[in-house]
Structure 1
Amino acid sequence: MNTQAPPPVTDDSETSVQRLARQTAVHSRLRTRHKGLIASLLFVVVLPVVLTSLYLALLAQPQYASETGFVVRQEESVSASQMLGGLSQVLGTPSASNSDLLFEFIQSQAMVRRINDELGIVGHYAQFWPLDPVYSIRPDITIEDLAQFWRRMIRITHDKSSGVIMVEARARDAAMAQQIAREIVAQSEAMINMLNAQARRDSIANAEADLDQALSALRSAREALVAFQARTQILDPQADIQGRMGVVANLQQQLAEALVDYDLLLQATDSTDPRVRQLDRRIRAIEQRIAGERASYSSDGTTEDADSYPSLLATYEGLRVDVQFAEEIYRVSLTALNQARTAAERQQLYLATFISPTSAETAEYPRKVLLVALTAFFCMMGWSVGALVYYSLRDRG
């Protein structure tokens, strides 16, 4: 039986698997969408990173930073009158939000305007315009734009629990940065002094107003008491009633003596004796007088409206209490005014600077590596999201 030998295998021959792989490689060439994706990567990521790097390396000017730290403190000593009680509420205490006010003031247009008037920061930050447009300003900048640029050049941190304020000022040179930091401290102290002056004026004005009101109330209470005494013709109802009770006691003693004499005379004579009739008339007169004095306790016939004596006594006690209360309020108001004047002579608020403005030796800003890395990160994130959204919409379409 004849057998046919297989064809010889040479090195130039290729298997079917190799041919399929070669054909697949030919068909997997770059297409238009791949080129667009690479172009978008170059345009969205590579180009911004390159431009940012070139700008920071060639155009961005170095910046020096000066740091300072301070806190708003208030006087913690307690005066003798406050230890006696109550006057701290009358006078009031400085608000705990003074550090918050100072934090907002440092970022305000008022602070920018004052520092510009003192140091001319517009000319300082505009010296490299338009070479460095990102970290420079126009010479004819408005106050609103200057305030926005100021918030970029000044970094402020505020701890609300302790009231500590940290300020970092940046400038083209170390001397200017230190001067800006010192001026911020000086303007902050001026603001604290203004708050002190305003608090002193308000405290004294309120104390004087309270004293005038207390004096007016005391005058009215005393006038009402004097008018009552003039109407009733009784200076002191309590003393008057004590005097009347003394009269009654004296009459009762005379009545007792007359009764004893009457009994003794009846034992010695009969009722027809003229002395007996005379003693009898004396006894009846004393009894009528005692009854009249007792009746006067409930009705006073000396007044036109015939007020009852208990009513007069109650009215007098009410007027006397009003006078005593008005006198006490007047004494407290007078003490509060003296305390306010004493406190006005002291510094209630002051700025405690625990870090003096520093002088930089190296330019820490702009932080080029960090800015380039952030630019690359955000551009890459934006490009990735855009590519995912594009292909998702394309596959669904």
Structure 2
Amino acid sequence: MLLLASFVAMVLLPMGISAGYLWTRAVDQYASYVGFSVRTEEIGSAIELLGGVTELSGSSSSDTDILYKFLQGQELVANIDAELDLREMWSRADPAVDPIFAYEAPGTIEDLVAHWERKVAIYYDSGSGLLDLRVLAFAPRDAQAIAEAIFDKSSAMINELSTLAREDAIRYARDELDQAVVRLREARVALNAFRNRTQIVDPTIDTQSQMGLLTNLEAQLADALIEVDLLRETTRPGDPRITQGELRVEVIERRIDEERRKMGLGGGSSDERSVFADLVGEYETLAVDLEFAQQSYVAALAAFDAARNEARRQSRYLAAHIRPTLAERAEYPERGFLLGLITLFSFLAWSITALVAYSLRDRR
């Protein structure tokens, strides 16, 4: 008798109360379905297209993860509430009659977000990147309007992410290009200042000329020395030709020493003007700086053009594979399913309670 009474109290009574509520007080709800995914379309260059290695369309899992969190956020709920008045839509059923499924307005934004989680079901397939939503409301037009607002807000958020990504990429490339332009300008100004100060366009050319002159003088010196040696061997001491030859050797040697000092290969006073070696070293430093600045400018310009073209080619957008549907009959609440679920859990609770009771009785 006690077992039967407990069965009635724990199983039949909750089942009867739930059935009475579901069929007499629970208000019909209409569902609107919408499904979409974040797509990234990339159109490569002609060479890539000919090679067949370009992916024309693909999904972005990271963007979809962001969108999934966005759909559960307070910002989206507040924006849609400001646009459509969710509080009024979800409180069309009297909360006094249906306190479980109706929203009790006005409530706080936290209350609205909690009710949003009950009315908006989000199904996310991380493998394919597809998002499917089921939106419930007490009127079919309301459910469709909420689904359309969700799609529009999600599309705007994805467009904003795409715009920010393009602007960041172009801004970084533009900053690098501006730095390269400044570096190139400074290198050219420094080289022009060197040329104006020294009145030399390219000291390496003058150095080559000096080296040619020095080589020629050394060859003449060798010839003069040989000639003097021959005269010493074939003539009498004191021959005026020997004296003349030795004078010619001295003149050539002085000229060689002078040219070597000009090129920085010999001694000389520090007060003398800069020798060619110093000028060449300074010029080569400036030339290297200019070459590096030019290469940096070319690379930065190419990177800027590539970033700008990439921003034009790539486009994130929200692709809907299910447009917001308009329900013709109420599918929710699923009265049979809910009643069966309540009955199952009530029966399980009763069974466990009965087993525990019999176990305690047997121990006595």
TM-score under structure 2 normalisation? 0.82
TM-superposed CA distance for 1:260, in Å, is 6.0
Alignment of structure 1 residues 120-269 onto 2, 5 Å: 120-130=85-95, 131-219=97-185, 236=202, 238-259=204-225, 262=228, 269=235
Check 1:173–1:246 CA distance in 2 against 1; reply closer, same or farther (3 A cut).
same
Q: Which residue of 1 aligns with 2:251?
A: 285
Query: What is the percent sequence identity of the aligned residues?
Result: 42
SS in structure 1 of the partner of residue 359 of structure 2: helix
Instruction: Name the structure 2 match of 1:103.
Output: 68
Deviation at 1:335, TM superposition (A): 2.9
Alpha-carbon RMSD across the aligned residues, in angstroms, is: 3.6
Equivalent residues of 2:140, 2:326 under 8 A apart: yes
Matched, 1:118 2:118: no
For residues 302 and 363 of structure 1, the distance between their equivalents in structure 2, rounded to whole angstroms, comes to 106
Conserved 8 A contact 2:31-2:134: yes
Whole-angstrom CA distance in 2 between matches of 1:299 and 1:167: 88
- Alignment CA distance shift 1:228-1:379 (3 Å): farther
Structure 2 distance, partners of 1:218, 1:309, is: 26
Cα offset, 1:190, TM superposition: 0.9
Structure-2 separation of matches of 1:201 and 1:245: 56
Q: Deviations over 1:310-363 (max 9, x none)?
A: 888677655543432232222222233334444555662111112212222222
Q: Which region of structure 1 is more displaced relative to structure 2, 213-222 or 321-330? A: 213-222
- Check whether the contact 1:65–1:174 (CA below 8 A) recurs between aligned residues: yes
Partner of 1:388: 355
Superposed displacement of residue 76, structure 1: 1.4
Give the TM-score taking structure 1 as reference length. 0.76
The structure 2 residue matched to 1:353, chosen from 303, 320, 330, is 320
Q: Determine the structure 2 residue equivalent to 1:375.
A: 342
Aligned to 2:52: none
Structure 1 residue 307 displacement after superposition: 9.8
Describe the SS at the equivalent of 2:93.
Answer: coil
Deviates more, 1:168-177 or 1:335-344: 335-344
**More displaced stretch, 377-386 vs 288-297:** 288-297
- Equivalent pair of 1:157/1:167 in contact (CA under 8 Å): yes
CA distance in 2, matches of 1:48, 1:132: 17
For each residue in 1:138-162, what CA deviation from the matched residue of structure 2 results, as whole angstroms up to 9, or x when unmatched? 1212111111111111111112222
Once residues 339 and 37 of structure 2 are traced to their aligned partners in structure 1, the CA distance between those partners, rounded to angstroms, is 36
Aligned counterparts of 1:71 and 1:108: Cα–Cα separation in 2: 18
- Tell me the equivalent position of 1:13: none
Going from structure 1 to structure 2, the CA distance change for 1:280 and 1:315 (only over 3 Å counts) comes to: same
Q: Tell whether the 8 Å contact from 1:67 to 1:181 is kept in structure 2 after alignment.
A: yes
Counterpart of 2:334 in structure 1: which amino acid? R
Is 1:326 the counterpart of 2:293? The answer is yes
Assess if the C-alpha contact under 8 Å between 1:300 and 1:309 holds in 2: no
Contact 1:271 1:277 (C-alpha < 8 Å) held by counterparts: no
Counterpart contact for 1:300–1:307, Cα < 8 Å: no
Match in the other structure for 1:58 = 24
Q: Is the CA contact (8 Å cut-off) linking 2:39 and 2:60 kept in structure 1?
A: no
- Residues 365, 243 of structure 1: CA spacing in aligned structure 2 closer, same or farther, 3 A cutoff? same
1:49, 1:376 within 8 Å by CA — same for their partners in 2? Answer: yes
Q: How many angstroms does 1:117 deviate by?
A: 2.2
CA distance, structure 2, for counterparts of residue 75 and residue 176 of structure 1: 33
Q: Residues 101-153 of structure 1, C-alpha deviation per residue, up to 9 Å, x if partnerless?
A: 11111121221122222222211110112211111101212111111111111
Larger Rg: 1
Q: How does 1:288-307 map to 2 (within 5 A)?
A: 288-290=254-256, 293=259, 296=263, 298=265, 301=268
Conservation of the 8 A alpha-carbon contact between 1:300 and 1:306: no
Looking at structure 2, the residues matched to 46 and 105 of structure 1 have their Cα atoms a distance apart, in angstroms, of 43
Consecutive unaligned residues of structure 1, counting only runs of 5 or more, are 1-33, 84-93
SS at match of 1:97: helix
What's the secondary structure of 2:343's corresponding residue? helix
Relative to 1, partners in 2 of residues 1:159 and 1:322: Cα closer, same or farther, differing over 3 Å?
farther
List runs of 5+ in structure 2 lacking aligned partners.
50-58
Change (3 A) 1:259 1:121: same
Distance 1:177 1:282, change over 3 A: same
